[in-house]
Chains A and B, each alone.
Chain A
Amino acid sequence: MKAMKKEKLYSYLLLLLVTLVGVSCKDQYPSPEELPSSKVAFEYSIIDENYQLDYYVGASIQFVNTSYAEGECTWDFGDGNTGTGDVIVHKFENQGTYKVRLTVAGQGYVDQNIFICDIKPIVSINPMEDEFCEVRKTLISFSVVLPNPEELEEEYNWTFPEGTLNSNGEEITTYAGKDPGQVQFGNVGSQTVTLSAKLGGRSLEESKLNVQVGYNKNVPTLYYAVKTGNIMALKLISDAPADMEVMPFDMGVKSGQHPLNILFADSLLYVLDCGKQFTYVDDADENMGDGKIFIMSKDGSKVETMLSNSGAAFNDPFYGYIEGSKLYFADRNTGICTINLSERNQTLNRDNFPYYVQNNHLGYYGRGLSYGAMNACFGKINGIWYWLKTYNGQGMFRFSDSDILTVDRVESDPAPSAGIALNGMCPKSFVWDAANQVIYFTIYDAKYEGLYRCTLEQLDAIGTNRDNLAPYQLKMANGKSVTPITETGVGEGSTGEFITICQLALDPTTGCVYFGLRSGDATVKSGLMRYNPATGFIETVVEGVEIYGVAINNNPSKLF
C-alpha cells in the first residue's frame, strides 16, 4: 500500500519535471522587432581624414551593424533620415544629440546616442618669450583653427578683458579679423578672451580662452573651493597699483561635492571632499559613501585621486591637517586617521586606515565627549591637538599624542590635562598664528556667531561663558560681525553640522586670515573674506561666491 503511494508520488514528480523541461528553455516573451534586443548592436566612427574625434556637423559618419542577430538592417538616424544596409554613411546637418536606432528585421532593435558638435574656432596661445604671461609685460599672440572644408567665408570678432593693450600700448576691447596681433594684459588672474566667428554668414558657438596672468613680484597664492564650481586661486598682493585689478584664477578643476577642507603642502593642493551626503543618513548597508581626497598640482594641470570611499557615508573625509609626510583626516563623527602624502588611488576601509584617535579612545569620553560627537576642524598648536566638536560634545577638545588610549576608555582613565576650551560652544574652525601667538577661531552659537582672535591664555579664560567672548570678536569696518547661515533649509547642513565658516587660512607674511562666508545677515554679502590685522577689520575680498575650504601656498611666486 505504502509502495503504491510512493510510486504515485514519483509519477507526479516526473510529470512536473517533464512539464518544466518543456518550458524552461523558451522565453515566453513575444519577439517582434519592436522590442529592444541585446542581439542587435552597432558601432559608428568618422571616416573623414580629419577631425575624427570632433563629430562636427557635416562629418561623414559610418554606421556598422555588429549584431549577432541576422536580418535586414534599417537605420533611423533620429534627424528625420533613414537608411538600410549593414554599413551606411550618414551626415548630420545640425548639432545636437541624436538617438540612432538600428532595427534588424524580425529580431529587434537597439538605440544609441550620437553627439554632434557645431564647428567652432579653436583658439590657442602661441609660444611666449616669457615662461608665463606676466601682467603688463608679456606680449602674447593667438592662433585660430576653424574647420572649413567647404571654404566658406569666415568672420572673426574678438573680445578682450578690461585692461588689455595692443602692441602699440593702446587699449583694445574688441577686434574684427582673424589675427588681433600681440596683446598684453593689465590685470592679474584669469583673463578671458572670447572669439565669435561666422562661417558662411552663420554664427558659430563662441570660443573662450582662459589666459592665466601672473603678477610681477613673488607673492603667496590663496586657493578656495567654490560650491558647484571650480577650485579658484588668488594672488595675495598688497602692493598692486591702484589701476590694477587682482582677479581670481579659475583652475579648471572641479571643487567636488562638499570640499570642507583643502590643504596645501609642497606644490600640491589636497582637497577633502566629504561627498554628496554629509549630514545624517540611515546608511544601514554602509554603501552610501562617495567622498574622496584628490590632489591638484599648484597650477591645476594635474589631478590625482589619493583616497576614495565607497563604504559608509560617515567615513568620508571631512576635515584634515598635514604634519610632516602625513595627512590626518577626520570622518563625520568618530575619529581621525592618517595617510602618507605619497599615497595614490587608495580605497578607504578601516583595515587599511585604522583610527589614529577616536572619541572613545580619549579620557574625555563620557566626560563631555559622547558617542558620535560631531567633528569639525582639527590641528596642532605647540604639540597639542585641538579637535573641534559641534554636537554630542561641544568645544575644543585638547590632548597630546600620549593621551590617546589604545583601547576603549574606562572610568579610571583620566581626562587629558590640556583640557577643553570653549566648552559647550560650537567651534567650527581655527588657525594658529605662531608669529603673533594668537588663535583665530569661529563659532556658530546663536547670537555669538563670528570670528574671534585671542591668545591661548585668553582662550582658557573664556571658560564656558559665551559672554566672555565679546572682547575677542572681530568686526567689519561698519561694526558688523560675520554671521554665517545656520537656518535649516536655507543654509547647507543641519543642527550640529552647518557648513558655516568651515576653514580658516593664515597668510603668515601679512597676518591676514582668509575664509569663506555664507552670510546669514542680509546686510553683509557672502564671499571670500579676510581679517586684516593692518586695518583691524574683516574685509571682503571676493564678493558673491559661496566657498567651502581655503588654503594658502606660502611659497611666493609670480603665477603659481
Chain B
Amino acid sequence: MKTKSYFLLLFVLAASLVGCNKYDTIAEEVIVGYMAPQVYWNVESSTVTAGNPVPFTTQYYTTGTSPITKLEVWYSVKEDISKVVSCPWTVTFSYSYSSAVNELKRISQLVSTYEQNSDYWNDSLHAYSFNATFPTSNTLSSTSWNKPTSFDSLKMVSYFGPDFMTEFKDSLYGLMQVKDFQKMYEGLGLVEHFNQYCDSTINENTGQWDYYFPGDTIPTAIADIYKSIPFSDLIYNSSNANYDVEYNRTYLLDAVIKCYDEQGTAGTGLTKEITLN
C-alpha cells in the first residue's frame, strides 16, 4: 500500500516537472487556437529588376467559419556582398582576400494589401485565386565591379574600406619571397636585373642556380621599391589586362503572403526568395 502511494506521488511530481509553461507537453503536441486560412503562392520569376513589380499568382481558402477578408505581402531585405582581391604576381603562394557576407538589412515589412473579393472563387481549384504584383524599390539595385580594365581608387575605398589597400599591401609583403619579388618587379618593369640584389648557389639536384637575399633579409633597395608600388599594380593581371578585384552587392527579398480571416487569424504561404538586379 505504502509502495503504491509512493508511485502515485512519484507520478504527480513527474507530471508537475513537465507541466510548467516551459515544458508544456500539451501545447507541444496539439494546435491550440483558430483554424487559419490556407494560402499557396508562386512568384513568376525569382529574379527581378529593382523597381519593377513582382508578378505572382495565389490560391487560398479556409475550412474555418470565419470568412477571408484580405491578403498581404510582406518582405524583409537581405544583402549579399562578396569581395575578392588577388595578387597575381606571387609564385611561391597564392594570395587572395575574399569575404562573403549575408546580412538582414530590414525586418519584414508590409508592402501590399489585397482585399478579398468573392469573384476570385475558382470552381475548378476549389479555392480563391488571382494574379497580382507587389512592388520593389529602385534603391535596391545590385552593384558589380568585377575585373575592371581600369582601376578606380574611389570605388576601392568605397567598397573595401579606407584601410584595406594598405593592409593588403603590408600583409602581402610579409609573405613574399625572392621568386615573388622577382616576378612582380620584372613583370611591372621595375628592375632590369633582379638578380643583382641576390646571392646564389648552384643546386646540385637541379643543376640550376638558386637565388636568395643576402643574409636572408629583404634588401633595403627591394623594400624601397615595394613601398613605391601603387596598390593597383599589386593586383594587376597582365595576362588578362585587368585588375584582380571583384565586388558584388545584391539585395534579396524574403517574401511571404499572409491570408487573414475576419477574426484576424492569418495563414502564411511559403517564403519566396527574390533576387533584385
Contact = CB atoms under 8 A, between A and B. Distances in A.
Contacts of A253: 47, 277
A38 interface: no
A45 B275 CA distance: 22
B146 A229 contact: yes
B16 interface: yes
Contacts of B277: 230, 252-254
Contacts of A300: 47
Contact of B137 (A18, A53, A229, A303): A53
Given A17-B13, A25-B22, A53-B111, A304 B45 contact: yes
B239 A117 contact: no
Interface in A5-57: 6-7, 10, 13-14, 17-18, 20-21, 24-25, 43-45, 53-56
Contacts of B111: 53
Contacts of B2: 7
Interface in B103-125: 103-107, 109-111
Contacts of B138: 54, 120, 122
A305 B46 contact: yes
A226 B248 CA distance: 13
Contacts of A97: 103, 105
Given A56-B139, A525-B241, A304 B109 contact: no
Most buried by B among A122, A228, A253, A296: A228
A519 B47 contact: no
Interface string B248-259: 101000000000
Contacts of B22: 25
Contact of A525 (B21, B45, B142, B239): B239
Nearest to A9: B6
B176 to A, nearest CB: 16
Given A254-B47, A303-B46, A525-B241, A115 B77 contact: yes
Interface centre among B49, B137, B242, B275 (most CB of A within 10 A): B137
Contacts of A324: none
Contacts of A20: 17
A283 interface: no
Contact of B79 (A13, A18, A115, A522): A115
Main SS class of interface, B: mixed
Most B C-beta atoms less than 10 A away, residue of A294, A524, A544: A544
Chief secondary structure at chain A's binding surface: mixed
A20 B14 CA distance: 10
Given A115-B106, A228-B246, A252-B47, A120 B139 contact: yes
A45 B110 contact: yes
Interface string A231-261: 0000000000000000000001110000000
Contact of B106 (A17, A55, A56, A546): A55
Nearest to B238: A522
B164 to A, nearest CB: 18
Nearest to A118: B139
A489 B139 contact: no
Nearest to A41: B107
B127 interface: no
A526 interface: yes
Contacts of A112: 107
Given A17-B17, A113-B105, A114-B106, 7 more contacts: A10-B3, A53-B135, A113-B106, A228-B246, A229-B146, A252-B277, A303-B45
27 contacts: A14-B6, A14-B9, A17-B17, A18-B13, A20-B17, A21-B16, A44-B107, A45-B109, A55-B106, A113-B107, A115-B79, A117-B137, A117-B140, A122-B51, A228-B82, A228-B84, A228-B146, A228-B248, A230-B277, A254-B250, A300-B47, A303-B45, A303-B46, A303-B275, A490-B94, A522-B238, A526-B239
The 4 closest A-B pairs by CB, nearest first: A115-B105, A25-B20, A117-B139, A252-B277
